Amino acid sequence: MREHGVLKRVLLIYREVMNRIDSKRDFPPDVVISSAKLIRAFVEDYHEKLEEDYLFPRFRKANKLVDLVDVLNQQHQKGRVLTIGHPTGQPVSTQGCQPAREPSEHAVPVRPHV
Ligand SMILES: [Fe+2]
């Protein structure tokens, strides 16, 4: 899916931020917040929702790859908590937008997705 390209690019940003943190270099925090907002709006609320609403039920109905669908669904839910750090799904704002403690926390659950 072309939409996965957006996620791959954000993961590259997260990776760069991780590298900068590891090497104690500065990074622009607004880039991380913007990336988390993009993940929330495009990947989680749009792309993953389409998968959950239209693809996953078809796989389940056909009894194909159900274990994988279950894992992907769990990853979606986990990623949503990590992106914002707030399980209630409150609207994203600069004040409330807390990217995962470590960028890798989001990268881990979504990397198998792409
Ligand atoms: Fe996907």
| pLDDT over threshold 70, residue 100 | no
Alpha carbon of 83 to ligand 1 centroid (Å): 16
Calculate mean pLDDT across residues 39-62: 96
Structural domain boundaries in the chain: 2-110
* Dist CA 17 CA 103 (whole Å): 7
Alpha carbon of 74 to ligand 1 centroid (Å): 13
Sign of CA dihedral 27, 31, 33, 38: negative
Alpha carbon of 26 to ligand 1 centroid (Å): 31
| pLDDT over threshold 50, residue 35 | yes
Alpha carbon of 19 to ligand 1 centroid (Å): 26
Would you state the pLDDT for residue 112? 57
For the whole model, what pTM was predicted? 0.71
* Greater model confidence, 97 or 78: 78
Alpha carbon of 87 to ligand 1 centroid (Å): 21
